[in-house]
């Protein structure tokens, strides 16, 4: 299109030029934000200096001196630093977030699909679950689960002894811990070889099905491969994997793998709570797929299960993933409620104990915010990537 007004337009002063004006406004706004930030920071520094409060990250390499009940990496009160405690806490948070997300997703999908079931009882049960769980504050649920776990399990001196040296009491679940001795590497190699072979077999069987419509019965072979190979290697290598069994002491059970009741309660609370929201997202996603799609699948002779798996869910995923991302982020952030029930998560260890013992509130809180921001951004970028992959390709 040809601009007609151009030759006729008079000389406009740059003061009234919308382009310059908007640039000027944006510059002014940026300057203001910078000024404000500078003012806040310099004011904080000045006040800290006036109150003679120490600043900086000097505490990072100081011996922590406190004990942590669950450590995924080597940690001791005597030898480890506050910096080490930071990593212990971070890993504990990631552990609970990772397992929680897996459990919540599983439960959420099941409940979401169940809500749409044609079976009246199942759909009402799922609906009731969602309504009740969504509308009770999470903190209350966590306290409920913690007390439920503690009160139902037997006391230490009446521990349940299960088969295979497993102990269960209100101090936790104690499992035998595998000890890898020399030669156990061979068993791992066998396991990896078996895995590769199994994947190859699976791909082969899928290709066969595409070619002639028949799928060779490979499941048994794959199962045998995965189980048989490592066991064979284990026997050949001279049974090099031992077990450290938990043992009952005067007060506590030693050795083995220890699963804390706090962790279990936190996982229960978080995954059950988040699953209710995920179920709603799943229901919405499935409802968003037009009925014609299901009818077309039935017309082609697909069974309901296959219809759901092959036709409905893949299309519903496009609607489900964005709210799902939110729920994953919520679950991770909500895990900081662990402080209430004594699970040593990141906030409990770092923003709680470390902050209190060092008094470096600004540094510790800033680091905590940075950690949660990083976890959230990584989670959401992973899910955005997945969302882009499954998005409808428009032609």
Partner 1 sequence: MKPIFTVLGAAALAGLFSAASAAGTLETVKSRSILNCGANGQLPGFGLPDAQGKWTGFDVDYCRAIAAALFNDSTKVKFVALTAKDRFTALQSGDVDVLVRNTTWTSSRDTQLGLSAAGVNYYDGQGFLTRKSLKLNSALELNDAAICVQQGTTTELNLTDYFRAHRMRLKTVTFAALDEALSAYDSGRCDAFTSDASQLYSVRLKLSKADDHMVLPEIISKEPLSPFVRHGDDQWYDIVKWVHFALVNAEEYGITKANVDEQTKSPNPEIKRLLGSEGNFGEQFGLTKDWVVRIVKHVGNYGEVFERNVGQNSPLKITRGLNALWTKGGLQYAPPIR
Residues that bind partner 1 (CB under 8 A): 25, 28-29, 32, 35-36, 39-40, 43, 47-48, 50-54, 65-69, 77-78, 146-147, 150-151, 155-156, 170-171, 249-252, 254, 261-262, 339-342, 344, 348, 352-353, 355-359, 361
Q: Which is nearer to partner 1, 79 or 242 (CB)?
A: 79
Q: Alpha helices of 116-241 — where are they, by DSSP H? A: 120-134, 138-152, 184-212, 219-236
User: How much of the chain is in helix, strand and coil states, percent to nearest 5?
Assistant: 70, 5, 25
Shortest separation between residue 361's beta carbon and partner 1, angstroms: 6
Q: Are 332 and 322 in contact (CB under 8 A)?
A: no
Give the separation between CA 48 and CA 35, rounded to whole angstroms.
Answer: 20
263 vs 375, which CB is nearer to partner 1? Answer: 263
Smallest distance, partner 1 to C-beta of residue 274, A: 22
Is residue 82 a contact partner of residue 60, using CB atoms and an 8 Å limit? yes
Nearest to 107 by CA among 280, 264, 263, 306: 280
Nearer to partner 1, 165 or 352 (CB): 352
d(CA 341, CA 325): 26
Closest by Cα among 149, 203, 198, 195 to 343: 149
Q: Which is nearer to partner 1, 61 or 69 (CB)?
A: 69
Nearest distance from C-beta of residue 334 to partner 1, angstroms? 15
- 230 vs 191: CA distance, rounded Å: 5
- CA 395 to CA 393: how far, in whole Å? 6
For 232, the 3-state DSSP assignment is helix
Closest separation in Å from C-beta 259 to partner 1: 14
> Which C-beta is closer to partner 1: that of 103 or that of 263?
263
CA of residue 331 relative to chain centroid, distance: 7
> With respect to partner 1, which residue has the nearer C-beta, 127 or 352?
352
**Distance of alpha carbon 69 from alpha carbon 337, whole angstroms:** 17
Residue 183: C-alpha distances to residues 186, 252, 278, 325 (Å):
6, 33, 45, 43
Q: Shortest Cβ distance from residue 65 to partner 1 (Å)?
A: 5
Beta pairing partners, 259: 173
Tokens encoding 380:
């959401």
Smallest distance, partner 1 to C-beta of residue 368, A: 13
Nearer to partner 1, 315 or 357 (CB): 357
Tokens of 296: 């077309």
Least Å distance, CB 164 to partner 1, is: 24
Q: Toward partner 1, which CB reaches closer, 215 or 254? A: 254
State the nearest-atom distance from the C-beta of 68 to partner 1, in Å.
8
Neighbours of 102 (CB within 10 A): 12
Task: Read off φ and ψ for residue 53, nearest 5 degrees.
Answer: -90, 130
Q: Shortest approach of partner 1 to residue 261 CB, angstroms? A: 7
Closest CB to partner 1 among residues 130, 138: 138
Instruction: Residue 68: name the closest of 354, 355, 348, 344 by CA.
Output: 344
Tell me the C-alpha distance between 166 and 366, whole Å. 42
Long-range contacts, 123-128 (Cβ 8 Å, 24+): 126/279
Considering beta carbons, is residue 39 or 295 the nearer one to partner 1? 39
The nearer residue to partner 1, 5 or 78, going by C-beta atoms, is 78
Element (H, E) at 98: helix 82-115
Q: Output the smallest distance, CB 248 to partner 1, in A.
A: 11
Instruction: Work out how close the CB of 193 gets to partner 1 at its nearest, in angstroms, rounded to a whole number.
Output: 41
């Amino acid at each position: 299109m040809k601009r007609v007004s151009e030759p006729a337009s008079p000389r406009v002063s740059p003061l009234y030029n919308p382009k310059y004006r908007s640039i000027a406004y944006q510059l002014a706004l940026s300057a203001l934000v910078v000024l404000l930030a500078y003012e806040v920071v310099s004011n904080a520094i000045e006040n800290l200096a006036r109150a003679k409060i120490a600043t900086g990250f000097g505490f990072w390499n100081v011996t922590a001196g406190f004990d942590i009940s669950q450590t995924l990496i080597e940690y001791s009160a005597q030898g480890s630093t506050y910096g080490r405690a930071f990593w212990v806490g971070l890993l504990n948070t990631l552990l609970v977030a990772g397992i929680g997300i897996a459990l919540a997703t599983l439960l959420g999908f099941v409940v979401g699909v169940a809500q749409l079931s044609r079976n009246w009882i199942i759909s009402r049960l799922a609906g009731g679950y969602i309504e009740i769980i969504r509308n009770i504050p999470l903190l209350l649920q966590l306290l409920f689960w913690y007390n439920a776990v503690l009160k139902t399990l037997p006391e230490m001196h009446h521990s349940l002894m299960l088969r295979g040296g497993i102990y269960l009491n209100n101090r936790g679940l104690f499992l035998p811990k595998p000890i890898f001795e020399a030669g156990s590497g061979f068993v791992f190699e066998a396991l990896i070889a078996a895995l590769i072979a199994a994947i190859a077999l699976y791909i082969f069987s899928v290709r066969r099905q595409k070619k002639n419509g028949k799928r060779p019965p490979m499941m048994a072979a794959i199962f045998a491969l995965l189980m048989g190979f490592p066991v064979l290697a284990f026997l050949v290598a001279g049974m090099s994997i031992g077990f450290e069994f938990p043992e009952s002491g005067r007060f506590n059970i030693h050795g083995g793998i220890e699963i804390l009741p706090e962790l279990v309660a936190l996982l229960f609370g978080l995954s059950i709570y988040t699953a209710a929201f995920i179920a709603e997202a799943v229901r919405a996603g499935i409802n968003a797929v037009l009925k014609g799609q299901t009818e077309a699948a039935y017309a082609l002779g697909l069974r309901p299960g296959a219809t759901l798996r092959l036709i409905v869910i893949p299309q519903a995923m496009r609607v489900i993933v964005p709210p799902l991302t939110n729920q994953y982020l919520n679950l991770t952030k909500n895990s900081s409620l662990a402080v209430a029930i004594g699970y040593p998560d990141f906030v409990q260890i770092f923003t709680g104990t470390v902050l209190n013992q060092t008094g470096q509130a600004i540094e510790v809180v800033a680091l905590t915010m940075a950690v949660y921001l990083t976890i959230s951004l990584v989670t959401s970028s992973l899910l955005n990537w997945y969302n882009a992959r499954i998005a409808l390709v428009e032609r």
